[in-house]
Amino acid sequence: MDKLAVYPGSFDPITNGHLDLMQRALKIFDRVIIAVASNPAKEHLFTLEERVRMIRESLTEHPLCERVTVETFDGLLVNYVEKKGAKAIIRGLRAVSDFEYEFQMALMNRKLCNDIETLYLMTGMRWIYISSRIIKEVVVAGGGVKGLVPDVVERMLNERLAARKATGVC
């Protein structure tokens, strides 16, 4: 039987750090589902459909893409993971600052479903300082993020920013 893990997140947008983590997870698991959270209560730069499309496009030429699927979920993560028949949730840990939030989330998920384990992987050193939030901040302030995100993401970020500037919403 395939060993399957779910890698959940907002992915607003996906970064090279996320892709690095996915690749590391595929050393342990046969298949990974990248599960994009719908979470309508949270404000996103990109719609759910855009986030999924960017991830799929980022993966088209990836050597491991056949072992990865991209899906969306809403409601409780553990319910989605159970429905998929997976036993593990993958999350990334960068610095100590990530720890508190991740610790709380992992223990809450364990309380909700004791059969599912959360596994934390460290991203490669070259991606340790990137997050979706800081990528957006840099682009909004006029900086370049080439090489830190997939090309499609860089393009969509610049398009979204240009559209916002044109409409005066920035």
The residues that bridge with 4 in the sheet, in sequence order, are 31
Contact call for residue 92 and ligand PNS (CB under 6 A): no
Residue 94 appears among annotated catalytic residues:
yes
Closest CA to 76 of 31, 44, 37, 119: 37
- Check whether 42 is labelled as a binding-site residue: yes
Distance from the first to the final alpha carbon of the chain: 49
Considering only the stretches 47-55, 104-112, 136-144, 148-156, report the one whose residues sit in contact with ligand PNS under the rule CB under 6 A. 104-112
- Distance CA(124)–CA(160), nearest Å, equals 28
- Check whether 11 is labelled as a binding-site residue: yes
The total number of residues written for the chain in this structure: 170
CB atoms closer than 10 angstroms to residue 25:
24
* Positions at the binding site for substrate: 10, 42, 77, 91
Which positions are catalytic?
Answer: 18, 42, 94, 132
Known binding site: residues? 10-11, 18, 42, 77, 91-94, 102, 127-133
> What is the contact surface with ligand PNS in residues (CB under 6 A)?
8-10, 37, 39, 76-77, 105, 108-109
